[in-house]
Every structure is written in structure tokens, then in C-alpha cells.
Chains A and B, each alone.
Chain A
Amino acid sequence: MAESYAIDGCKLTRSFGGFFALKGVDLAVPRGEIRGLIGPNGAGKSTLIDVLSGRAAHWSGTVKMFDADISAMTAQQRRRVGLARSFQRTNIFPDLTVIDQLELASRAAEAPSIDEIMAELNLTALAFRRAADISYGDQRRLDLALALIGRPKILLLDEPAAGLSIKESLDLAHCLKDLAVRWGVTVLLVEHDMEVVFSICDRITVLHLGTILAEGTPDEIRGIPEVVTAYLGSSV
């Protein structure tokens, strides 16, 4: 019997005019895995996240979640069946307090409580602050909390550590790893910070010009000369 993948994208293609951002990409992530998705700018990483999460229009291929075809589902429908995502830019509700927006997310996800996620992401002390008034690092954690409310089955993260200091990035990464393991969340992580990717991911997929260049464990990826030459350099 074939293995059931948490998320399984098959022959995913998306083009903008004559330019192919994705060229028939096959990406399958097993349940509970933290998968890194790396590649240079323009490789198609964010486009792939957009296609999987239901944000993109005019694409072809199929997206399955635990063997169920979700290709025709809207973003809201995918969220309701347990597919959550975060965005490259901080994507919160600036004028609402931290607690107000987490309560909204919790109501939509039918989560019993927001106390747990607030404690996990160190947001409890900021509960009654307007999101616009908290620090950038706190906003990134709030962004992650909005995606994690209700313990989604799959989490697609588009550069969650962008703009954070090295320490903040690593703290966030390890917190994410810890939550993913304890809650059994499958994670697909797009991130430019190689230290973050190589420290928490079980496997890594390298995307280049809309196609998959390589896939393997962090050690295997480090050992592929083309990847090191084309993308990693001396960063890992």
C-alpha cells in the first residue's frame, strides 16, 4: 500500500506569461516531517506555497492532503481541513490586540483555548497590546501563532524568520520544531536562513528555476556539489 503523505503536490505548474515559476513539480511530504524548501530568489518557493495553500490562481496539477484531493478547495476550506500557512511579510491585524486576533483565529479553527498557544509563543504578557505597537519579533511570533491556532495538520511557512536577529531566528526555529514534534504537525518551511533550515528540518528540497534540483536529508544536501556551488556556498 502506498504511503499516505500529509501533503502531496503532483505535476504542479504555474506560469506568468511565458515564464514558468513552477514546471511540473512533484513534492510529497510524509506525516510529521519538517521539510525545508530552499533555493535562490525566483526559484518558485513562494509560488509553490501559494499553490499548495490555495492562494494562487491559474495553476495546473493536483494537491492532495492525506490522500484527499483538495485542489478545488478555497483557502478558507483548506484552513478548515487543517492546512495553515504564514506569509513572507508579517501578516497580522495591526489595529487589533493580540488577544482579539488570536480569539478570532481560535473561533474559526474551533480551538478550545488560546492560552496554550500564547504561552508557547511567549505572547501572554502582550495579550492586551495592539499588534501595531509590539516589536517586530513579537509580530512574527504572533503571525506564527495565528497559523498554529487549532493545531493544524499541515503548516506552510514562508520565511517565518525574515527580518529577525540570529538569536531570534534560532529561538523561533527551535520553538517551531518543538511544537511540530509535540503536536504532530507536518511543516513545509521556506527559509533563506540556512542555519535555521539545517538545524530543524528532517529533509530538504532544493528548488531551482521552477524545478526540483535535489532532495534529501540535511547531510545529503550538504554533500551535493551542484547545490553547494549554486546556492549554499559556505553558509552550512
Chain B
Amino acid sequence: MTNIVTTAPTVTRSPPPRHALALAAAIGAIAIGALIAATIQSNLMMTLLTQAIITSILATGVGFLIRQNGVVSFGHAAFYGIACYAIALAMKLGAMRVEFAIMLALVLPTALAFLLGLVIVRIPGVAFSMLTLAVGQAFYEFAMKARQVTGGEDGFSVNLPSTIFGIPTAVFQDPHSMFVVSWSVLVLIVFGLALTAASPFGRLTVAIRENEERARYIGYETTLPRVLVLTLSAFVTAVAGVLFTLYNTFVSPDVLHWSLSGSALIMAIIGGPRLIWGPALGAIIFFFAKDIAGDFTEHWQGIIGVILIVVMLVLPVGLGGALAKLWQRRPGHG
């Protein structure tokens, strides 16, 4: 096999991230969201959907970390809850305008994730999960104990001004309009994360996830990319926290509890964490399963548990992964 190659054939990439097509799909998806809000009259249904979509954003953040870094976090509620409390406390103390409070709510958890990531991303597997759990629970305990500031277990209401970024605050509290806002944010986040995953940075982080040692031996520093994935994941989670606070205008330590991180993880697994949109699908399924099962029994967690076991055994790629496979196998698809 002694090759004397004078002119190597050029390998032409088909344009992989078809940006224009993806952007058109995102715009179409936002339009569908508006159509759903216009079609469904029931406030109860829209409330459920809006909560599901906000939680979808949280699950998308958790799922992105699994997809790119291959690690599981039990502490994402900390990023979510810190965003919630940042707005709530800023309003309670009258410390700043709500617009600045929202920006602070996005920056604080993101910066925390970056600094924390510099220490913990090198720690593998279960130890990483346990550390995130410990950090998350530390914030929960603080919120429980600092009653003077946080209201402790009782929480407190968030007083928002009449407009936020020039938009009437009522828009963020009406389930129909808030659904459109949350849905649009979710679509933009999924679009942004899909572009990130398809970029050289996204491929590098998958390579590090797959084989960190080899990534080092082809010349890459592997810690910072993993830190940046955790940071981005925390930012997405913080966005969910901001929307939650604007919609519910109430915070309590529940938004910091590990069980919220655990629920987000279950949503990601049900939907399929290898897909950017899988965790969001999982969150919607989770919410509807919880609502339907809750009509029959107070032990709805048991039904969710059964769904989780079935998905993990039968569809290890999640429901989203199964749907994606079916789509790829459709007649006429190469």
C-alpha cells in the first residue's frame, strides 16, 4: 500500500448546519407557538403549558450538559433558584430597576457556574454529580435559614413594576401571552444551542466527552471547553429562572431544591439528552403525565417512575431519539 499521492482528492462537506433552513424552522416554530396560544382558550391548559415550557428551558440546560460534557448535574436548581432570588431580592430591597435585576439574574448563576466549573469539571462521573448536589443544597439550606432576607420556607411575593423593558408586566403573567414569550425563548435557545453543537466548539466538546485523553494528545486543552459548556448550560437554566419569577411572582426555597434538578434530569432522560430538543420534549411529557396521573392518584411520582424505567429499558435514546430515528427511516429518506 505504498501510496504516492500527488493530488489528494478534496472532500467536500455538504453544508452541515444549514443555518438559513434552521432559522426558517425556528421562525416557523415561533409562529406555531403563537397559533397554539390563539387556539387554546382554556386558561388552565395554558397555565400548564406555560409552566411546562419554562421547565423545558431548565431541562434543556441540564440536557445540554449531558450531551456535550457527558456528566449529570444534581445542582442545576441552584442556577435556576439564584436567578429567581436575584430578581426577587432586588425588588424586595428596591436595590435596582427590574431590567438590571433581570440582567443580574442571568449573570450571577452564569458567573458562578464558570468559577465552579474551573474546579469541578475535572472530577469524573458520580463525584461530579455529588459535588453539584452538595453545592445546590448549600444554596437551598442558606435560603431556608436566612429567614430575615429570604422569608425562609414561606418564601415571599415579588413586586414587579408595571412595565419591564417597556412591555406591560401583565404580558408576563397572563398564561396565553407568557406561553408565547416562553415558547419563543425556548425555540431561540434550542436554535442557539443547535448552532453551538454543530460548531467546531461543539464538536470539540463532544470529542472531549468521548475521549478526553486523545483530545489532549491532538493538542487541545480540555478543561476550559468543559467549563464553558457548564457555563452555557447554567445560563440557559438562569433564563428559565427569570421567566419563572416573572410569571409566578413568588419565590421559595423549592426553586433551589435538588428535587427540581432531579425532575429536570428525568425530563432530559425521557426526552433524550443526545438531542438538543429532547429534554424539552421530555419536560412537556413529564408535565402532562403528572397532570393526568394526578387526577387519578396522589402518587403520581410512581407513574413518572414507571415511565422513566420503561424509557430507559426500551428507548435508551429517549422518546425524542426514537422519533428522530423514525424520521430518518421514513420512506424516500437517504
Contact = CB atoms under 8 A, between A and B. Distances in A.
B200 A104 contact: yes
A96 B217 contact: no
Interface string A156-171: 0000000000000001
B217 to A, nearest CB: 6
A101 B217 contact: no
B69 to A, nearest CB: 13
Contact of A79 (B5, B8, B203, B218): B218
B213 interface: yes
Contacts, number: 100
A120 to B, nearest CB: 6
B219 A174 contact: no
B220 A108 contact: yes
Nearest to B218: A105
B203 A124 contact: no
Choose among B1, B5, B9, B221 the residue with the greatest number of A CB atoms under 10 Å from its CB: B1
Contacts of B207: 93, 96, 101, 104
Contacts of A100: 203
Given A75-B217, A107-B200, A146-B218, A119 B5 contact: yes
B211 A178 contact: no
Contact of B5 (A94, A120, A147, A149): A120
A218 to B, nearest CB: 19
A227 to B, nearest CB: 29
B206 interface: yes
Contacts of A55: 213, 217
Interface of A is mostly: helix
Interface stretch (A34-42, A59-67, A84-92): A84-92
B2 interface: yes
B203 A99 contact: no
For the complex of A and B, list the 3 residue pairs with the smallest distance between their C-beta atoms, beginning with the closest.
Answer: A108-B219, A119-B8, A171-B1
A134 interface: no
Interface string A91-120: 111111001110111011100011110111
Contacts of A107: 200
**Chain A residues touching B, range:** 35 or more
Contacts of B213: 55, 91
Nearest to A107: B200
A25 interface: no
Contacts of B13: 99
A93 B200 contact: no
Nearest to B214: A91
Interface string B1-28: 1111100111101000000000000000
A109 B8 contact: no
Contact of A108 (B4, B10, B206, B218): B218
A94 B3 contact: no
Contact of A174 (B2, B203, B209, B210): B2
B203 A115 contact: no
Interface of B is mostly: loop
**Chain B residues touching A, range:** 20 to 34
Contacts of A15: none
B34 to A, nearest CB: 36
Given A93-B215, A105-B219, A118-B11, 11 more contacts: A55-B213, A55-B217, A76-B217, A76-B219, A93-B211, A96-B203, A101-B207, A104-B203, A120-B8, A172-B1, A178-B3
Nearest to A113: B8
Interface of A: 53, 55, 74-76, 79-80, 84-85, 87, 91-96, 99-101, 103-105, 107-109, 113-116, 118-120, 122, 124, 127, 146-147, 149, 171-172, 174-175, 177-178
B11 A114 contact: yes
Contact of B219 (A92, A103, A109, A113): A109
A103 B199 CA distance: 12
Nearest to B221: A76
Contacts of B200: 103-104, 107
Interface in B132-154: none
A177 to B, nearest CB: 8
Nearest to B11: A127
Contacts of B9: 115, 119, 124
B11 A115 contact: yes
A93 B206 CA distance: 8
Contacts of B219: 76, 79-80, 105, 108-109
Nearest to A115: B8
B3 A120 contact: yes
Contact of B214 (A122, A146, A149, A172): A146
Contacts of A101: 207
Given A104-B207, A171-B1, A76 B8 contact: no
Contacts of B210: 93-96
A17 B154 CA distance: 58
19 contacts: A55-B217, A75-B216, A76-B217, A76-B219, A79-B218, A80-B219, A91-B213, A92-B214, A93-B211, A93-B215, A95-B206, A96-B203, A99-B13, A103-B203, A105-B219, A115-B10, A124-B11, A149-B218, A178-B2
